[in-house]
């Protein structure tokens, strides 16, 4: 790896360490040969997820996303080379033969984030989780398999949905404060709640019931992911280690003192590190 590439990957690791410490800790348990590429994937995901925070209107976010599409398509080689995350990501794609269409699909899904439309229905939410989270688990498993297909695509899919559902519920205080509603409108309506309750930070009985249903759904995806691990080659299985954190978060949300719009739910650091170590 050239000095320039090493610097780009180091920048990705620093970014993940600062903004997604759980993913960074999981990355520390990966083989040295795979760790930089996996962290580059997570840095890219962070970069795309943070676009809304860095632009003043959705159209500017659309322009930023178009830049990423073109960079991944090879239309902006000089600009991509000068961007640490883009340079590291493209290097990872080249070294491990990662499908770039999966990364472009992640960008497409994240277009939802630029606007304040509520998540319309549960199926749409699961699709969103699949494109933005399951793809990362799947791509990480390809890296750990040296670019070959390790199997276990279904396990990666379920793991990503479970991880994203837990993450979106944990992020409710933040997303609601900026006017977003990721709790599906059809699920809210079924329990007598509405997106306006989410945006206003009202923990109504209906909203709490909707969140309880989402937790049940997340647990079902955790179980399906674990059952599917047998179909994944053993060297690739540590790609799904972050899944071990999901039950810890869900358990905290089911405590009597759970307040969905207060400080984001988390588990003690030692428990998370122990869970990641065992899962890896």
Q: How far apart are CA 237 and CA 255, in angstroms?
A: 31
Please write the tens of the pLDDT for every residue from 13-45.
999 999 999 999 999 999 999 999 999 999 999
Percentage of residues in the chain having pLDDT higher than 70: 100
Task: Answer yes or no: is pLDDT of 1 > 80.
Answer: no
Q: How far apart are CA 145 and CA 156, in angstroms?
A: 14
Q: How far apart are CA 20 and CA 154, in angstroms?
A: 25
Binned at pLDDT 50, 70 and 90, residue 114 comes out as very high
Please write the tens of the pLDDT for every residue from 172-221.
999 999 999 999 999 999 999 999 999 999 999 999 999 999 999 999 99
Tell me which residue of 221, 109, 103, 215 sits closest to 159, measured CA to CA.
221
Task: Answer yes or no: is pLDDT of 51 > 90.
Answer: yes
Binned at pLDDT 50, 70 and 90, residue 244 comes out as very high
Query: How is the chain split into domains, by residue range?
Result: 1-105, 116-280
Binned at pLDDT 50, 70 and 90, residue 4 comes out as confident
Predicted pLDDT of residue 145:
98
- The predicted model scores a pTM of 0.96
Q: Which CATH topology does 116-280 take?
A: Farnesyl Diphosphate Synthase (1.10.600)
What sign has the CA pseudo-torsion 260, 202, 19, 16?
positive
């Amino acid at each position: 790896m050239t000095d320039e590439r090493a610097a780009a990957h180091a920048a990705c690791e620093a970014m993940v360490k600062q903004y997604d410490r759980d993913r960074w800790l999981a990355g520390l348990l990966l083989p040295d040969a795979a760790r930089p590429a996996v962290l580059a994937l997570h840095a890219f995901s962070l970069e795309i997820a943070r676009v809304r925070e860095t632009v003043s209107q959705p159209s500017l976010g659309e322009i930023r996303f178009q830049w990423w599409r073109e960079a991944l398509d090879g239309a902006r080689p000089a600009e991509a080379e000068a961007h640490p995350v883009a340079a590291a990501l493209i290097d990872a794609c080249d070294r491990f033969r990662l499908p770039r269409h999966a990364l472009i699909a992640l960008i497409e899904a994240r277009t939802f984030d630029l606007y304040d439309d509520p998540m319309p229905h549960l199926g749409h939410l699961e699709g969103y989780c699949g494109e933005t989270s399951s793809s990362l688990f799947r791509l990480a498993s390809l890296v750990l398999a040296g670019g070959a297909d390790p199997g276990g695509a279904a396990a990666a899919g379920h793991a990503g949905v479970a991880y994203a559902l837990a993450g979106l519920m944990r992020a409710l205080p933040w997303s609601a404060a900026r006017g977003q509603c990721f709790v599906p409108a059809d699920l809210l309506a079924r329990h007598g709640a509405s997106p306006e309750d989410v945006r206003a930070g009202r923990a109504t009985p209906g909203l709490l019931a909707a969140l309880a249903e989402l937790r049940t759904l997340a647990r079902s995806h955790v179980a399906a992911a674990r059952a599917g691990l047998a179909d994944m080659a053993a060297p690739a299985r540590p790609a799904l280690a972050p899944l071990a954190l999901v039950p810890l978060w869900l358990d905290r949300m089911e405590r009597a003192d759970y307040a969905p719009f207060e400080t984001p739910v988390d588990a003690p650091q030692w428990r998370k590190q122990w869970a990641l170590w065992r899962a890896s």
